[in-house]
Structure 1
Amino acid sequence: MEKLTHFNNEGRAQMVDVSGKPETVRTAAARSSIEVNDHIYELITNQQIKKGDVLAVAQVAGIMAAKKTWEIIPMCHPIPIKGVNISFDWMEGSENHKILEITAEVKTVGNTGVEMEALTAVSAAALTIYDMCKAVDKGMIIGPTYLIEKTGGVSSSDYRREME
């Protein structure tokens, strides 16, 4: 059984010391989604939401969230983010609904990974879409949110989620 690294010998929370780890190129990709009704889909795609261009604002929110992850997730390190890309892909959902898949790819050169930054980016983008559209319908569904892959580092291997 692996030891959880965010706990000290007393069982209390600690920020992991990464000072001895080598700097390597590290990447992570994460995905979330938001299910909306067809009316909201039409409003978003025709840029008719009164608060503005929903996907443009969500994209900026995701990028900002990746850069500030260390400020909201207590044990995350401040990381010099080298790149963030947020992409959107509409899919058919259940009857009268569409699903917007949100993918974030984050990159750094450093001594700790960027999985949390990618997960935070897609979460913030989905929440931003919800916020901008909630006046039309509060029944939107966010999730699932998950890590797709991570690369880099020496002590842990690369990870790639097996997709169904």
Structure 2
Amino acid sequence: MTDETRATHADDRDGAGGLTHYRADGAAHMVDVSAKDVTAREATATAVLRTRPDVVARIATGDLPKGEAVAVARVAGILAAKRTHELVPLCHPLPISGVDVDVVPSGDHVALSATVRTTSRTGVEMEALTAVTVAGLTVYDMIKAVDRAAVLTDVQVVAKSGGTTGTWVREEQA
């Protein structure tokens, strides 16, 4: 480990909040988490797919040209969480313990949420974000024949727990 990398690793370990995926020379690198404690970790992310009420009704009943969107989106979100490290270059591959994806049609939107759990040295926020985003993209793919104007929005981490920084909950969720 170089002095440069060691300094970045120490910053990451003490929760300094710096840009830990960049070395002093500006080059991106994967953070060394080997000195971190293995702890139970969890993260939840949410998103909203806005569409027309008639489309939401079709999602709820499974009456879409491509079939039943809710179950397909759930499975897509779970698969996405498991493959996050293949999609996001600086993410560590993690032993995921569980993934819950909820897809709830309501009014003029579909509320999406994903919770990911692990016991590892680094958190699962990226896995939760990837899961909820891919679930939303899957719903969009399944409704685009009836509403190309649908919008996936408000993708955000709403809670995380575990690790050196402990529990964090987005204020509007508290």
TM exceeding 0.5: yes
C-alpha deviation, 1:39, in angstroms: 2.2
Contact 2:115 2:128 in 1 (8 A): yes
Q: CA deviation at 1:48?
A: 1.2
Higher helix proportion, which one? 2
SS of corresponding position for 1:21: coil
Tell me, yes or no, if the aligned pair for 2:60 and 2:105 is still in contact at 8 Å.
no
1:127 matched residue in structure 2: 137
Counterpart residue type for residue 151 of structure 1: S
**Percentage identity across paired residues of the two chains:** 42
Q: How many equivalent pairs are there?
A: 158
Separation (CA, whole Å) in 2 of partners of 1:151 and 1:118? 13
Aligned equivalent of 2:31: 16
Q: 2 CA distance for matches of 1:157 and 1:25?
A: 10
Alignment match, 1:7:
22
Greater Cα shift, 137-146 or 81-90: 81-90
- CA–CA distance in 1 between the matches of 2:46 and 2:160? 12
Over the residues paired in the alignment, what is the CA RMSD in angstroms? 1.3
The structural deviation recorded for 1:40 is: 1.2
Matching of residue 75 in structure 1 with residue 100 in structure 2: no
Distance (Å, rounded) in 1 between the aligned partners of 2:50 and 2:17: 36
Give 1:86-125 correspondences, 5 Å limit.
86-92=101-107, 98-125=108-135
Partners of 2:37 and 2:100 lie apart in 1 by: 25
TM-score by length of 1: 0.92
Q: CA deviation at 1:61?
A: 0.5
> Which of 139, 150, 172 in structure 2 is aligned with 1:163?
172
The letter for the 2-side match of 1:134 is K
How many Å apart are 1:44 and its aligned residue?
Answer: 1.2
Structure 1 portions without partners, runs of 5+? 93-97
Q: Could you tell me which amino acid in structure 1 is paired with residue 169 of structure 2?
A: R
Q: Distance in 2 between matches of 1:41 and 1:101?
A: 11
- 1:150 is displaced (CA, Å) by 0.4
In the TM superposition, what is the alpha-carbon distance from 1:22 to its structure 2 partner?
A: 1.0
Q: Which residue of 1 aligns with 2:67?
A: 52
Counterpart CA distance in 1 for 2:17 and 2:113 is 29
Q: Give the counterpart letter for 2:139 in structure 1.
A: I
Q: Distance in 2 between matches of 1:64 and 1:3?
A: 31
Q: Please give the TM-score of this superposition, normalised by the length of structure 2.
A: 0.87
Residues 72 and 138 in structure 2, CA contact (< 8 A), matched pair in contact too: yes
